[in-house]
């Protein structure tokens, strides 16, 4: 059998490709082992196409064999629910990846487009009864396909931004400085709503659309140490020493959320450290198939947060779902590194999402009321990547007066997916529109999300659609409940309104 020729949506804005993708003959729709597909000897299962090489090691290949092709992942997959193509489902992509590894299909542009259209949201892992660790499959395969992708000038610009600017906070600060200046003098919205926005390629137009109107011209970094609030300690003894990963993008664009995170942790009786030498968690290069860069960043952060000689924190906390999921993957990422593998396991054992840690610490409850109706969006790498759905809701339940309205399909991706909304803007936009429609159905004017990427995606798309909506972090609401001041991130800046968004 073969997949019927279909119009394949291009994830990079290139022309639509119509091409058949071959699949080995099977009996039935859900075979465990396909005829002609076998476990590779030792480390390599290869497919050659004009001298190129696609490899899956035996460990990763076994992940693919665990799939029984039952199809329970299909309703959970955002791309499949949007376009209905089997090749854009987890099951279909596993067929493609095994076919590549066994040399039964070639890594054509159509095949690569199917794999690149995956958001790596990991919703299929939550749905899978066989425990397929899908993200290891897709990330390993993408790394093998990097040199086979056709590239345009826009692709090269995006690659520069993704892998040479985003992972380095100092470069992010410099890159957004012109936008900050234009915001300060009142020209940013004029330019971005006018001719300039129409002239930009859609990926870059999406990037300028997502730029938050927030923060000072040159945001100051957090101090390196904060002492616990005595009211939250146990007989004057801090509950824990916590090190905060403040994020390469988060530290620049969401400084207020990081500051609120520190103050909430202090209120919970923790001493807080913010290591100055920390770098990007590595999620962006990892999801982009730049495994060597991701490993280098992981080693650096292990050295920074868990030095061989020196004090170590009780916990390593973060407030961004994507960062947290990546930090918890360090032991897998460095599993073949004899020097760092044991240290990576120790590191991962101390990593916590902010909501996860707060529930674990069980601090004194906040006293102030926050009389507001909100709805909660499950960030993919919190709900699926870290299996954390209850802790954020538990934290919100501590807030007096807060009315949390259930969000339909709350665990469905909003289209952010790291840098996906920049490299695949059409699919990302469709998913964001679906998410915002569900938010509107709740009647809430505030959407709570525990990830900076989700916040920017939902907020920018609400602005584009003319929907009145605030997007805020759970920590911001908890901070407001503790300190009695309106601390919803973006009460003035991060709010989309009908009309001009001002």
Supply the pLDDT for residue 443.
95
CATH number of 6-148: 1.10.1060.10
Supply the pLDDT for residue 144.
84
CATH topology of domain 360-496: Rossmann fold (3.40.50)
Phi, psi of 204 (to 5 degrees): -75, -30
Q: Do the Cβ atoms of 215 and 183 come closer than 8 Å? A: no
CATH 1.10.1060.10, the chain: domain bounds: 6-148
Helices (H), 165-313: 169-184, 188-192, 195-199, 202-209, 250-253, 255-267, 283-287, 291-305
CATH 3.40.50.1860, the chain: domain bounds: 360-496
pLDDT in tens, the chain (502 residues): 333 333 333 333 333 333 333 333 333 333 222 223 333 343 344 443 443 346 666 667 777 778 999 999 999 999 999 999 999 999 999 999 988 888 888 888 899 999 999 999 999 999 999 999 999 899 888 888 887 776 777 777 777 777 777 776 777 777 666 666 565 555 555 555 555 555 555 555 555 555 555 554 445 678 888 988 988 888 788 999 999 999 887 777 788 899 999 999 999 999 999 999 999 999 988 988 888 999 999 999 999 999 998 889 999 999 999 999 999 999 999 999 999 999 999 999 999 999 999 999 999 999 999 999 999 999 999 999 999 999 999 999 999 999 999 999 999 999 999 889 888 889 999 999 999 999 999 999 999 999 999 999 999 899 889 999 999 999 999 999 999 876 444 343 344 444 333 3
Cβ neighbours of residue 133 closer than 8 Å, sequence gap 6 or more: 63, 125
Supply the pLDDT for residue 201.
53
pLDDT in tens, 456-491: 999 989 988 999 999 999 999 999 999 987 644 434
CA-to-CA distance for 20 and 5, rounded, in angstroms?
4
Supply the pLDDT for residue 235.
78
Place of tokens 């915002």: 436
Supply the pLDDT for residue 7.
36
pLDDT in tens, 137-187: 998 888 888 877 767 777 777 777 777 777 767 777 776 666 665 655 555
- Longest C-alpha distance within the chain, in Å? 71
pTM of this prediction?
Answer: 0.80
Supply the pLDDT for residue 64.
74
CA 134 to chain centre: 16
CA-to-CA distance for 385 and 381, rounded, in angstroms?
4
CATH topology of domain 225-359: Glutathione S-transferase Yfyf (Class Pi); Chain A, domain 2 (1.20.1050)
DSSP per-residue codes, 434-471: HHHHHHHHHT-SEEEES-HHHHHHHHHHHHHHT--EEE
Supply the pLDDT for residue 149.
72
Rounded to 5°, the CA angle 224-286-165 comes to 60
């Amino acid at each position: 059998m073969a997949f019927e020729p279909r119009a394949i949506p291009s994830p990079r804005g290139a022309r639509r490709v119509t091409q058949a993708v071959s699949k080995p003959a099977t009996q039935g729709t859900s075979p465990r082992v396909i005829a002609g597909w076998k476990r590779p000897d030792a480390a390599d299962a290869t497919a050659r196409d004009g001298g190129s090489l696609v490899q899956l090691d035996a460990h990763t290949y076994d992940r693919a064999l665990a799939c029984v092709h039952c199809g329970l992942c299909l309703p959970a997959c955002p791309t499949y629910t949007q376009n209905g193509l089997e090749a854009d489902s987890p099951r279909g992509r596993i067929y493609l990846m095994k076919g590549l590894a066994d040399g039964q299909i070639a890594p054509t542009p159509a095949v690569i487009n199917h794999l690149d259209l995956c958001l790596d949201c990991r919703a299929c892992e939550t749905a899978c009864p066989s425990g397929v660790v899908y993200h290891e499959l897709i990330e390993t395969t993408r790394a093998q396909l990097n040199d086979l992708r056709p590239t345009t000038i826009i692709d090269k610009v995006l690659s520069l931004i993704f892998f040479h600017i985003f992972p380095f906070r100092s470069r992010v600060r410099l890159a957004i400085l012109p936008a900050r200046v234009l915001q300060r003098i009142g020209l940013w919205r004029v330019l971005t709503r006018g001719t300039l926005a129409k002239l930009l390629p859609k990926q870059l137009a999406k990037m300028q659309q997502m730029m938050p109107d927030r923060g000072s011209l040159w945001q100051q970094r957090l101090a390196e140490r904060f002492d616990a609030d005595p009211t939250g300690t146990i007989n004057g003894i801090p509950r824990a020493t916590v090190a905060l990963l403040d994020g390469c993008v988060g530290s620049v664009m969401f400084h207020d959320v990081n500051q609120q995170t520190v103050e909430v942790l202090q209120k919970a009786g923790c001493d807080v450290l913010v290591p100055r030498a920390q770098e990007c968690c590595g999620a962006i290069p990892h999801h982009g198939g730049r495994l060597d860069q991701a490993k280098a960043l992981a080693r650096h952060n292990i050295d920074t947060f868990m030095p061989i000689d020196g004090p170590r924190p009780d916990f390593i906390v973060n407030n961004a779902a994507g960062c947290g999921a990546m930090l918890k993957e360090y032991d897998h990422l460095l599993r073949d590194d004899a020097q760092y593998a044991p240290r990576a396991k120790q590191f991962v054992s101390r990593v916590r999402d902010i909501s996860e840690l707060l529930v674990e610490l069980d601090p004194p409850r906040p006293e102030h009321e926050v009389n507001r109706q909100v709805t909660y969006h499950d960030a993919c790498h919190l709900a699926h990547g870290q299996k954390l759905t209850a802790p954020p809701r538990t934290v919100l339940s501590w807030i007096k007066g807060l009315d949390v309205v259930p969000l339909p399909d709350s665990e469905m991706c909003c289209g952010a997916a790291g840098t996906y909304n920049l490299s695949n803007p059409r699919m990302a936009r469709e998913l964001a529109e679906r998410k915002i429609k569900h938010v509107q159905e709740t009647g809430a004017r505030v959407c709570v999300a525990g990830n900076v990427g989700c916040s920017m995606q939902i907020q920018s798309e609400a602005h584009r659609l003319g929907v009145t909506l605030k997007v805020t972090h759970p920590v911001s609401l908890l901070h407001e409940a503790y300190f009695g001041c309106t601390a919803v991130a973006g009460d003035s800046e991060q709010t989309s309104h009908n009309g001009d968004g001002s």
